[in-house]
Amino acid sequence: MRIGLFILAIVLAFSTALVATLTTRPPRNEIATEDILVLTGDVEAGEAIGANRLAWRPWPTSSITPGHIRKSGTATGLTDWSERIPLTRMVAGEPLLAGRVEARSGGALAVMIDKASRAVTIEINDAGGVGGFALPGDRVDVLFVQRDQRGQSGSGRVLVAAARVLAVNQAMSVKGATLGGSVKTATLEVTPSQASDLASAASSGDLSLSLRPLGAAKETPAPPPPPPLETPAAAPAPEPAIEGPAVTIYRGFAKESIRIER
């Protein structure tokens, strides 16, 4: 009997110590979170996001920036943001940033262009370049080969460097474009002056694309223009007419007229 009471006392003492340890353990540091708008599916540039690819997800408060869209700080729901158009491709799990989307106030292509740029569509010589392998988002150089009056092609030069491809044929996304397929037109983002140059060149020669490697988006200086053609030397002034009888003397190719005095 005494042994049983002794064992019971030991068990009670151990239980009391265990409970005291658990109750005095400091609580774990909970990470503060807040719901922000996150993409649940991939979205191509120029494509409406859609409500089925948006959801509110908890995000660490310390990692939230002013660009994130907070559930507590927006008066609009998913419907308003679902109609926005991303300027670049976005992937699932990525937070939606207000600075990377635009409201649809016009065509999808107009949203993707920088305010100082223009979109111009050119007909390209697919056989003479890499038109079939240039996809939306790539950087290309536009090569120009001028034709003479007989239709013969001359030497080529870089007309526009590091232009961003906005669309190939009528596909504005990599998903809609066919790699290696037949390409008739390409829509590029250029400056207003470059758009004018391309329009002028299209009527006097052939245009083709030269694909730049990934990361080589910086524009290279254009080659210097060809030197101007030398103007022919002015013809020598005619000799003053000699009145009266005269004798013309030729010395090689030189001609001299001598008047005869009477």
pLDDT: which is higher, 30 or 259: 30
Q: How far is CA 63 from CA 32, 36, 86, 95, in A?
A: 10, 11, 22, 11
Question: What's the confidence (pLDDT) of residue 174?
Answer: 67
Mean pLDDT of the chain: 76
For 83-106, the pLDDT digits (tens) are 888 877 889 999 998 888 887 666
Give the contacts of 102 (CB within 8 A, at least 6 positions apart): 84, 85, 87, 111
CA distance 122 to 195: 10
Helices and strands (DSSP H and E) totals, the chain? 4, 11
Residue 49 is classified by DSSP as -
- Please work out, in degrees rounded to the nearest 5, the angle formed at the alpha carbon of residue 178 by the alpha carbons of 176 and 180: 160
For 42-64, the pLDDT digits (tens) are 988 778 888 899 999 999 999 89
Q: Which of 9-13, 78-82, 192-196, 199-203 has the highest mean pLDDT?
A: 192-196
Q: Which of 28-42, 139-153, 187-201, 208-222 has the highest mean pLDDT?
A: 187-201
Question: What's the confidence (pLDDT) of residue 82?
Answer: 84
* Whether residue 33 has pLDDT greater than 70: yes
Task: Give the distance from CA 56 to its chain's centroid.
Answer: 30
Beta bridge partners of 118: 190
Question: What's the confidence (pLDDT) of residue 229?
Answer: 45
For residue 190, name the pLDDT band (cuts at 50, 70, 90).
very high
Do residues 207 and 142 touch, judged by C-beta distance below 8 A?
A: yes
DSSP string, 51-66: GGGEEEEEEEGGG--T
- Secondary structure (3-state) at 140: strand
For 214-254, the pLDDT digits (tens) are 776 655 555 555 555 445 555 556 666 656 666 676 666 66
Task: Give the distance from CA 147 to its chain's centroid.
Answer: 30
Beta bridge partners of 206: 145
Burial label, 43 (beta-carbon count in 10 A; 0-12, 13-18, 19+) = buried
Q: What is the CA radius of gyration of the chain?
A: 39
DSSP string, 190-209: E-HHHHHHHHHHHTTEEEEE
For residue 188, name the pLDDT band (cuts at 50, 70, 90).
very high
Do residues 127 and 143 touch, judged by C-beta distance below 8 A?
A: no
Question: What's the confidence (pLDDT) of residue 159?
Answer: 92
* Whether residue 128 has pLDDT greater than 60: no
Question: What's the confidence (pLDDT) of residue 46?
Answer: 75
